[in-house]
Amino acid sequence: MALLQGPVYEAYRTELLKRYKHLLRSLGKNIPKEKIKLVRDAFDMAARAHEGTVRKSGEPYIFHPLAVAEAAVSELGLGATSVVCALLHDVVEDTDITLEDIEHRFGKDVANIIDGLTKISTVFENVDKDHSIQAENFKKMLLTLGDDLRVILIKLCDRLHNMRTLGSVSENTKLKIASETLFIYAPLAHRLGLNAVKTEMEDLSLKFTNPTLYREISDKLADTKNVRQRYVKEFIDPLKNELELSGLNIVEIKGRPKSIYSIVKKMEKQQIPFEEVYDAFAIRVIVDSPLFLEKADCWRVYSIISDMYRSHTNRLRDWLSHPKSNGYSALHTTVLGPKGRWVEVQIRSKRMDDIAERGLAAHWRYKSGGKSVSTPQDMAFDNWLDAVKETLSNSDLSALDLVSEFRTSLLGEEIYIFTPRGDVKALPAGSTALDFAFAIHTELGKRTLGAKVNNKLVSIQSSLKNGDIVEILTTSKNRVTRDWLDVAKTARAKSKIREALKAERTKKAAQGRLILERLFRKHQLQFTDSNIKKLMHHFKYQVGAEFFHSVAEGQIRLNRELLLKIVLKKTVEPNDQAETLPTKANSTATNKRKKSDQIIIGDDYEMPYALSKCCHPVPGDPIFGFITVGEGVKIHRTTCPNATRLMSQYGYRIIPAQWRGDGYQKAFDTAIAVRGIDDVGIVSRITDIISKDMEVNMKSINISSNEDGTFGGKIEVMIYDLLHLEQLIAKIKATHKYIEVMRED
Ligand code: MN
């Protein structure tokens, strides 16, 4: 506390006030008085709370939050509320001040942001080498993307200042913080469109993780500076004249060296020395135009440049019409400059440049007044943020998977894919047709059969190229399989597929349970937990849901003998059946049962009936009887398309009916529908399964190819019961990836 007076303390107070005044100047003049009062209070609170503490560098601690606030204003363009939060960002964690104190003085918004910042800041200090803890922490940070975006923006300023002052910490901490920054903060900054922040973070990370290489490249850049500047002048001078004559309001035209980090990446990727990185700089032309003219003006600049220098036909990037989803918008072209060198030229408006450097989020949402102009850039960014929030909220991925998937989506280049109607979706490069389907709509994605890319039929795993026109071919049914997790490349599609698989498993398990229950009933066994346990034990299953799932998938084969052996622990001779299992029905009937014994109508075992032709019921189907005029009782499936009508109009003629549930000798005819993408030999493969593998008789088969490359048709088969039918369907489905099989209604 000796610091609280004397000349040293005086000097500190003077410096502190100087920096605080600078912050106020950066905030600008248009800030309302009440807001300035809040900033003042936050500054006082922080200064008092941190008083007496110093950073590793020996600097008073309060200079850190001040610097973070300064960066939030002058580098990201954030407003007064963010300044308040930046000033207070470390007090809850490091001092006696509580969140309640903050809410009491500054309100709910500020308290929420500080809360978010406190939660992610505890993160990195306690991390050792355990990757899963690390990932858990990164996940925590990504989750704040779903809250107030200012949390992450201020966090980025915090990290930026920590990186700028990293020199004074221990070697170990340096490495840890620098690699974290490269791993997650720089990609995040990139994705949020904060180009300047991203570039500085990357360069600083390199500086601390590989100081030798960093110094080597920065020295070489300095050595070649004069040569480069002379070349740039040679390139620009004639251009300047032309642009001036055009009447366009050009605010900047100059050569900019690329970042050290990006030069190093290029050298590594192309395995070339520094001297061969020909595009170590780019020419940037910035034109000041009103919003409605900016695109047209950029194209005029392009036209003037390409009149003077031959442009590379394959190197025109039009992010004017379709901004990147981080909000980046510009026109990039590569032209043949003096001395036969290819030079990249970036053309953009002043507004686009501002967004490119400081980020869209800062630009449009938190600018004072907060009124937003809706540009395609805003929308692209909004869409991205919505997709992020959705992925994060639905994801039950492990933290490690989430972070690595997310990171891929943060870093990658984007491609633009069109629907046949001309709508456009931005996807990460490497995305497949399946990703595109899920990007359009989850329900569409789940039913994807294949796609047409530029009118050519392709499978779901074919990767898309920039500008492709893609039409998704679907079926009426959910087709999600586990393989799709490899086919999909985007985090969004993957998380949707995982969700669908989970739902499907639950449904399948319920089906399996039902199949098993029927089988038990058929053999007069008690469907109890302990009997199920015996089966699970026999087939080596621990989890009920998994066991039922396998039953439904037909992976568990249970015939009568095996079932009785496991459940009753006794061996049954196949020809013993009738005696071992006397049933009410069996005791009065012979094995060669007539058709009329198979269904009990009401509680009458003898009533004659006929199976309806419209829905082909088979044993196991839920059924009902309908009393017809003159034809006796007709049996329909409860899911028969006619059932609803019959039940609603002639309710009094409906009578309950049920299968007897044992030893059906007779096969029932029913029909299945198949659809899919055409493939040589598919029909013979299907018929092989039916007649050879399953030994099922076919009554008829009718399959035809369609012009769009799909096929479809109907097969009438003779099967014994529902289980039998389900097994057949599962087998046919397994023949081909792009086939859909269902029972015909
Ligand atoms: Mn901090």
Q: Looking at residue 286, which CATH number applies to its domain?
A: 3.30.460.10
In this predicted structure, what is the pLDDT of residue 595?
A: 47
Distance 157 CA to ligand 1 centre (A): 9
| 61 & 135 share domain | yes
In this predicted structure, what is the pLDDT of residue 376?
A: 62
Distance 64 CA to ligand 1 centre (A): 7
At residue 604, the 3 state secondary structure works out as strand
Distance 92 CA to ligand 1 centre (A): 11
Distance, in Å, from the CA atom of 508 to the CA atom of 616, rounded to the nearest integer, reads 23
From the list 288, 375, 263, the residue with the least C-alpha distance to 328 is 375
| 71 & 157 share domain | yes
Q: E strand or H helix at 287, and its extent?
A: strand 281-287
Q: Write out the two tokens for 530.
A: 């302990």
| 679 & 726 share domain | yes
Distance 121 CA to ligand 1 centre (A): 8
Distance 125 CA to ligand 1 centre (A): 11
Distance, in Å, from the CA atom of 246 to the CA atom of 236, rounded to the nearest integer, reads 15
Distance 239 CA to ligand 1 centre (A): 46
From the list 436, 443, 423, 496, the residue with the least C-alpha distance to 472 is 436
Q: E strand or H helix at 647, and its extent?
A: helix 643-649
178: number of Cβ within 10 Å: 20
In this predicted structure, what is the pLDDT of residue 381?
A: 66
> What backbone torsions phi and psi does residue 572 show, to the nearest 5 degrees?
-120, 130
In this predicted structure, what is the pLDDT of residue 127?
A: 45
Distance 90 CA to ligand 1 centre (A): 6
| 77 & 153 share domain | yes
Which listed residue (94, 101, 279, 678) is catalytic? 94
Quick check: is 678 catalytic?
Answer: no
Type of residue numbered 521: R
Share of the chain above pLDDT 90, in %: 23
| 240 & 263 share domain | yes
| 41 & 104 share domain | yes
In this predicted structure, what is the pLDDT of residue 212?
A: 92
Distance, in Å, from the CA atom of 517 to the CA atom of 525, rounded to the nearest integer, reads 9
Place of tokens 């002043």: 350
The answer to whether position 349 is within a domain reads: yes
| 653 & 528 share domain | no
Which of 581, 604, 634 is a domain's end point? 581
Tell me the H-state helices in 147-275: 149-164, 171-180, 186-191, 195-209, 211-223, 225-246, 260-270
Which of 373, 398, 428 is a domain's end point? 373
> What backbone torsions phi and psi does residue 627 show, to the nearest 5 degrees?
-80, 115
| 51 & 119 share domain | yes
Neighbours of ion ligand 1 (CB under 5 A): 90, 158
Distance 114 CA to ligand 1 centre (A): 11
List the chain residues with pLDDT less than 50. 1-2, 123-129, 365-372, 574-596
DSSP state of 744: -
105: number of Cβ within 10 Å: 16
Place of tokens 């709910």: 108
Tell me the per-residue pLDDT of 489-542, one tens digit each, with 9 for 90 and over.
887 888 889 888 888 888 888 888 888 888 888 888 888 888 888 889 888 888
| 237 & 273 share domain | yes
Q: State the total domains in the chain.
A: 5
Place of tokens 């300064």: 70
In this predicted structure, what is the pLDDT of residue 400?
A: 65
| 39 & 66 share domain | yes
Task: Supply the range of the domain harboring residue 110.
Answer: 6-164
Quick check: is 275 catalytic?
Answer: no
Check if the beta carbon of residue 599 is closer than 8 Å to that of residue 657.
Answer: yes
Check if the beta carbon of residue 236 is closer than 8 Å to that of residue 253.
Answer: yes
Distance, in Å, from the CA atom of 140 to the CA atom of 155, rounded to the nearest integer, reads 13
| 365 & 239 share domain | yes
The answer to whether position 639 is within a domain reads: yes
Distance 65 CA to ligand 1 centre (A): 6
| 567 & 602 share domain | no
Which listed residue (41, 51, 59, 93) is catalytic? 93
Distance 134 CA to ligand 1 centre (A): 19
Check if the beta carbon of residue 136 is closer than 8 Å to that of residue 184.
Answer: no
Dihedral sign from CA coordinates of 343, 347, 350, 351: negative
Distance, in Å, from the CA atom of 140 to the CA atom of 117, rounded to the nearest integer, reads 11
The answer to whether position 199 is within a domain reads: no
Distance, in Å, from the CA atom of 556 to the CA atom of 722, rounded to the nearest integer, reads 16
> What CATH number is given to the structural domain containing 121?
1.10.3210.10
The answer to whether position 356 is within a domain reads: yes
Percent helix / strand / coil, the chain, rounded to 5: 55, 15, 30
